[in-house]
A and B are shown apart, each in its own frame.
Chain A
Amino acid sequence: MDTSFRLFPDAASDMADQVDRLYFFLLAVSSFFTLLIFVLIVFFVLKYRRGAKVNRYLTPGKSVLALELTWSLIPLGLTMIMFGWGANLFLKLHDSPPDPIEINVLARRWFWRMQHSNGKREDQALHIPVGQPVKLRMISEDVIHSFYVPAFRVKQDVLPGRYTTLGFEPNKVGTFHLFCAEYCGDNHSGMKGQIIVMEPAEYAEWLQGGPSEAPEVAGKKLFEEYRCASCHTSPVNPRCPPLEGLYGRTVKLTDGRTVIADDDYLRRSIVDPAAEVVAGFQPIMPTFKGQLGEESIFALTAYLKTLEAPTPGAGQAGEAAIGDTPPSDTDSKEADSKEAGPEPAPSRDDEPRLPAAPSLDPPRDPSPPEPPSKENPAS
């Protein structure tokens, strides 16, 4: 990192160059108007100073409407250009490029913890390869933080209780600042780190070094440790919605809403399972709030993502959890979206077997193989 004095920041991503171009346009427009106003004021003050012998005669009745319209409409046009240009770039920033390197980021007072796809962790630093899109999935364990890399011209707040994402593609090798931009308490200005952009080969080598445990492996261990498997297992337990192939699907809830089973939904279902219950099931799952840190939840969801829907013939993903019985499908994508009753959603599978849920029956045994929680799971 070059620490010498400068007047303009490093630009190390494609977005940086584009934002800079827009910035120069804004600079040009504002410099023009600032100069215009300054010059006019100084000129008028000098020329029409009290006592100066000048013609102060104003033609009466001259229409000022044209003038007023001109100086309203020209700024309006210019601001619309600014809006359009800025919005276009903003949308680009929020586009997800195909196949990004996905990295989990955990913010906590006062450090950044990064977890790479193979489970390698690092604090206060992020190693990434040049020329490849990166997508961060970020969450905070306490207050709001903000992930800010000036050299990439990107910034995104990191919230507690909800994932936010941030994508960028570095185009320059080097070391750049990472700042926390949202005030987060005493050591806010110490919550700094480095973004280290490397050649892809170097990065690959770096990624392999040091201890790491793939998050899905860690997640599987947690899944067993917390005895999730005792319900969410095969053959399908009629009280629990199946997890195989869940990730990315549309899920119908008891209250008639539908949600996409993304990272956020999986996370919420772990910490607040009673809030969004899958249609046809009872809210009997206990919460794991306070027992699982965000890193563990990262790991668990990583594991859940590996549980593929058992399509006929290929059921290789989850080793133990997926038995040979395909689960019923509680998906509601299209056919039954109007139907929100307490009945279990009719399975679209052509081989329905177990009733997908006991519907109105309260579970006879309210504590299926004890999860390590004493909270009352009832809603």
Chain B
Amino acid sequence: MSTAELPKRHYLNADYNIWSWLLTTDHKRIGILYMISLTLFFFVGGAAAILFRVELLTPEADLVVSPTYNRLFTLHGVVMVFFFLVPSIPAVLGNFLIPMMIGARDLAFPRLNLLSWYLFMAGGLLAIWAIVRGGVDTGWTFYTPYSTTESNSQVMAMAVGVFVAGFSSILTGLNIIVTTHTMRTQGMTWFRLPLFVWAHYATSIIMVLGTPVLAISLVLIALERGLGIGVFDPKLGGDPLLFQHLFWFYSHPAVYIMILPSMAVVSEIIPCFSRKPIFGYKMIALSSVAIAVLGFLVWGHHMFVSGQSVFAGLIFSFLSMLVAIPSAVKVFNWTATLYKGSISLETPMLYALGFIGLFTLGGLTGLFLATLAVDVHVHDTYFIVAHFHYIMVGGAVMGYLGGIHFWWPKMTGRMYPEWWGRISAVIVFVGFNLTFFPQFVLGYLGMPRRYHIYPEEFQVLNVMSSAGASILGLGYLLPLCYLIWSLKYGKVAGPNPWKATGLEWTTPSPPSTFNFDEPPVVTEPAYNYPPLDDSSLPHETSDPTASTPS
């Protein structure tokens, strides 16, 4: 690989001036634009987290006062959820990879794709503006009637920002759905699609169906704040719980917007570094769709103690249990893929295995929350905080970082320093567990979330958590440094440094603007890794008749 050279012309150097980037319709360049803006938002949200983790070192409010603390956790939540986690993998990796994976030159609607980045940036800048103007103190959930009648902060600006960013999400989803339906190259049947594409297809369905409901709730918030229409205000005959129904109807499926693409990344990485076809391809593909559909039926499990009826609680608890099944199936399938593989632990693989660990813990603790009587106790405590960080951050961020490392050579043409990559994966995994595992204990002890002044018996666990957060923060900074370093000094990667299957690896790294000179023809299923006597594996002693499961 060291003898390889970068292609002379590729999408990055095809044109140099700033307008060629700001007006580009190349899905790869738009993916890069997203990556840069998301990195910015990620570190804004992360800085807020570090600040309040420091505040939580002591039971008193000695670093920030209450209004500041409330704005910090809201900032962290809003920015991380709406401006990092939701768009992360679909907008960066999905954008970059889906056309290449299905053998297309671009997405179905390239200009719509560019528009969605502008909408995302407009939303993000509005959010930043709201923060600069004093911030928002409602929490990322904007619960009424606090957000509509009481909060004296920039709720309007923030709601408009999230609303606008929502359209970006809808457009991206639409683009991916249409692209998957219409742009597949010859021979790329549905069941030859990489699982990455399947999961993004399922994710896009959620984006297109769910996001409008979020938009509606935000419009209602704005109308209520601005005009006092009284949809949510009991003083005017409204119902404060209606907002929670609307909000979670989007925001529960949104968790799957964050996690399905991560599962997609893992489903690419595991076979590659095990040199085996993935176990149960169809089960994994269909379980993505099952999760997307079931995800729309469980929003009420956020409301077991809200005052909704007992009967509704029973129904939502039952349905929530069902989501566990396709999720468990995926974990078992990934694990089974390792069996009799030829496993090497490069950075992406470490992130993917870390993902399985964190997702397993996060998923299993989800069962505690779906179980009615236990949820009554742990609802709105740090148990919840720990659970959704395991799923949304442990899941989505591990997947995102794993994916970035896996396709970095494709995106930039260069390798990052492998040793630093592995170190970062280990630090993130350790830091993550140290940060969030104590929070499960804190939650069962009864520490409510969004408290910065707390009884002193909770202090030890909070100190552990804050210590973990600083390690985690370091773990996130490392890739930022060495990936930027690799842009100039990294080894040239060549078209397929991992010897992976998939059409994207048949193009040069970085690819040219139109990906393929000729539309490729697909003749074999995805993950058709050669039998394990591959000559690149010198010590392989597998049976020459070795075959792979169908």
Contacts and interface: CB of A to CB of B under 8 A. Distances in A.
Please say whether chains A and B are actual partners in one complex.
yes
A301 B548 CA distance: 75
Contact of B445 (A44, A71, A150): A150
Q: How large is the interface on A (under 10, 10 to 19, 20 to 34, 35 or more residues)?
A: 35 or more
B151 interface: yes
B376 A50 contact: no
Contacts of B543: 55-57
A206 interface: no
Contacts of B305: 146, 155-157
Given A57-B543, A90-B376, A186-B137, A144 B343 contact: no
Interface string A144-181: 10101011011111011110100000000000010111
Interface string A25-42: 010011001100110110
Contacts of A160: 145, 234-235, 240
B229 to A, nearest CB: 16
Contact of A275 (B237, B374, B457): B237
B519 to A, nearest CB: 33
Contact of A4 (B353, B450, B453, B457): B457
Given A37-B357, A56-B532, A188-B70, A83 B448 contact: no
B341 A44 contact: yes
Interface in A7-60: 7-9, 15, 18-19, 22-23, 26, 29-30, 33-34, 37-38, 40-41, 44-45, 48-58, 60
Given A144-B146, A159-B240, A34 B364 contact: yes
B514 interface: no
Interface residues of B, number: 99
A86 interface: yes
Interface stretch (B22-30, B156-164, B328-336, B422-430): B328-336
Interface in A104-151: 109, 142-144, 146, 148, 150-151
Contacts of A182: 143, 380
A62 interface: yes
A24 to B, nearest CB: 10
Interface stretch (B199-207, B314-322, B468-476): B314-322
Contacts, number: 287
B317 A87 contact: yes
A189 B454 CA distance: 7
Contacts of A87: 314, 317-318, 372
Nearest to A192: B455
Contacts of B370: 79, 82-83, 86
Contacts of A7: 441, 445
Contacts of A48: 274, 338-343
Contacts of B317: 83, 86-87, 90
Nearest to B148: A143
B383 to A, nearest CB: 10
Nearest to A53: B541
A76 interface: yes
Interface in B345-387: 345, 353, 356-357, 360-361, 364-365, 367-368, 370-377, 379-381
Contact of A34 (B361, B445, B454): B361
Given A79-B321, A86-B374, A183-B139, A148 B549 contact: no
A93 B343 contact: no
Nearest to B341: A48
A190 B445 CA distance: 18
B27 to A, nearest CB: 34
Contact of A57 (B321, B342, B365, B542): B542
Interface in B125-141: 137-139
A64 B282 CA distance: 12
A155 B379 contact: yes
Given A44-B343, A155-B376, A272-B237, A58 B549 contact: yes
A72 interface: yes
B451 A189 contact: yes
A49 to B, nearest CB: 5
B66 interface: yes
A146 B70 contact: no
B373 A18 contact: yes
Contact of B151 (A62, A79, A185): A185
B234 A150 contact: no
Given A37-B357, A64-B279, A181-B381, A154 B445 contact: no
B63 interface: no
Contacts of B151: 185
Contacts of B280: 64, 68
Given A144-B240, A185-B146, A3 B371 contact: no
A80 interface: yes
B293 interface: no
B460 interface: yes
Interface in B189-237: 234-235, 237
Given A45-B353, A144-B146, A180-B448, A22 B373 contact: yes
A221 interface: no
B505 to A, nearest CB: 19
Interface in B364-421: 364-365, 367-368, 370-377, 379-381
Contacts of B375: 86
B182 interface: no
Interface in A88-111: 89-94, 109
Contacts of A342: none
A155 B343 contact: no
B353 A150 contact: no
B343 A71 contact: no
Interface string A314-357: 00000000000000000000000000000000000000000000
A52 B341 CA distance: 10
Contacts of B449: 183
B137 A185 contact: yes
B310 interface: yes
Contacts of B338: 40-41, 44-45, 48
Contacts of A183: 70, 138-139, 143, 146, 449-450
A41 B274 CA distance: 12
A71 B329 contact: yes
Nearest to B539: A51
B341 A89 contact: no
B130 to A, nearest CB: 18
Interface string B516-550: 00000000000000001000011111110111111
A254 to B, nearest CB: 17
Interface of A: 1-9, 15, 18-19, 22-23, 26, 29-30, 33-34, 37-38, 40-41, 44-45, 48-58, 60-62, 64, 67-68, 71-72, 75-76, 79-80, 82-83, 85-87, 89-94, 109, 142-144, 146, 148, 150-151, 153-157, 159-162, 164, 177, 179-190, 192, 272, 275, 289
8 pairs of A and B residues whose beta carbons are closest in the complex = A161-B234, A150-B446, A89-B373, A86-B371, A90-B372, A30-B364, A189-B451, A57-B543
Given A4-B457, A53-B541, A185-B137, 14 more contacts: A33-B360, A49-B342, A49-B343, A50-B275, A51-B538, A57-B340, A68-B329, A83-B321, A92-B373, A143-B149, A150-B445, A183-B138, A185-B70, A289-B235
